[in-house]
């Protein structure tokens, strides 16, 4: 959304101080492990932009809290699967042979938003090694969350999502809906449903100083029903654990990750593919 439109829809601008108060009112506490999915424009006009949001989050979490954000780079994938936009088949092999390898310091995020991309570049932030599905984290639990991120099945049991689950972390949907909630992908790996299938993925990997196009297995993940799942979750008894509120002018949800993942496993088994 153009910044002029953001200004027009904002009555009172957001600041680090007001964001900090909103985060506390929503239920974010010191010491939490917090995975944030975000839209900066949804918050209204923020004085300091993404930097202000990150500062406010880190101040509320404190030194004992760990902040996590997605840092996906989905363009490092097999061009035969590209749809937004597709490229000519005659380009595919050249792309596989010449695409620069994933570099956790250099490779930018794709479609993660300004807050996540800014957080990725902050001093002290660690990023996992997956070329497509990486996560960034900062805080005392950062290393344990992002280490040993498996190349195969990148949202599964050997992913940062599973480590956040083990740590009883929380998910914050900051102006976005459940279609952005990557933790539901962990439920896709754990659930059994008729349309579940394994696919072959590919990405450029740096090995021994050279770039190698590497193939690996993954689940064919699908977020097309995540918003419907999220609405059902909110209406359910277990959905009462979700804390709803405003940050700036954005509608936000804060929830224990275990609750939404466990609910999603059952929901997918009952609804996916039927």
* Residue tagged 């993404």 (tokens): 50
> What sections of the chain are H helices per DSSP?
3-8, 16-26, 49-61, 92-98, 114-120, 142-146, 160-166, 183-190, 226-235, 257-271
CA 126 to chain centre: 15
Structure confidence at residue 274 (pLDDT): 67
Q: 3-state DSSP helix/strand/coil percent for the chain, to nearest 5?
A: 40, 20, 40
Say whether pLDDT at 158 is over 70.
Answer: yes
Strands 33-38 and 170-174: parallel
pLDDT category of residue 2 using cuts at 50, 70 and 90: confident
Say whether pLDDT at 230 is over 70.
Answer: yes
pLDDT tens-digit profile of 72-113? 999 999 999 898 889 999 999 999 999 999 999 999 999 999
């Amino acid at each position: 959304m153009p910044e002029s439109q953001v200004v027009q829809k904002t009555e009172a601008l957001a600041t680090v101080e007001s964001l900090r108060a909103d985060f506390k009112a929503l239920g974010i506490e010191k010491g939490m492990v917090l995975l944030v999915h975000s839209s900066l424009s949804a918050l209204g006009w923020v004085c300091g932009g993404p930097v202000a949001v990150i500062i406010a989050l880190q101040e509320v979490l404190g030194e004992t809290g760990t902040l996590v954000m997605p840092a996906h780079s989905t363009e490092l994938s097999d061009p035969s699967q590209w749809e937004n936009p597709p490229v000519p088949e005659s380009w595919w092999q050249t792309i596989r042979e010449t695409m620069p390898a994933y570099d956790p310091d250099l490779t930018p995020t794709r479609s993660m938003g300004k807050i996540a991309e800014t957080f990725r570049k902050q001093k002290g932030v660690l990023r996992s090694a997956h070329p497509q599905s990486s996560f960034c984290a900062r805080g005392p639990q950062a290393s344990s969350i992002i280490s040993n991120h498996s190349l195969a099945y990148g949202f599964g049991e050997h992913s940062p999502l599973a480590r956040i689950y083990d740590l009883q972390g929380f998910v914050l949907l900051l102006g976005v809906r459940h279609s952005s909630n990557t933790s539901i992908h962990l439920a896709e790996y754990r659930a059994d449903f008729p349309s579940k299938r394994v696919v072959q993925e590919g990405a450029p990997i740096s090995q021994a100083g050279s770039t190698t196009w590497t193939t690996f297995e993954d689940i064919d993940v699908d977020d097309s029903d995540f918003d419907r799942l999220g609405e059902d979750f909110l209406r359910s008894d277990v959905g009462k654990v979700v804390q709803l509120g405003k940050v700036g002018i954005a509608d936000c949800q804060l929830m224990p990750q275990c609750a939404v993942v466990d609910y999603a496993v059952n929901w997918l088994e009952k609804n996916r593919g039927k």
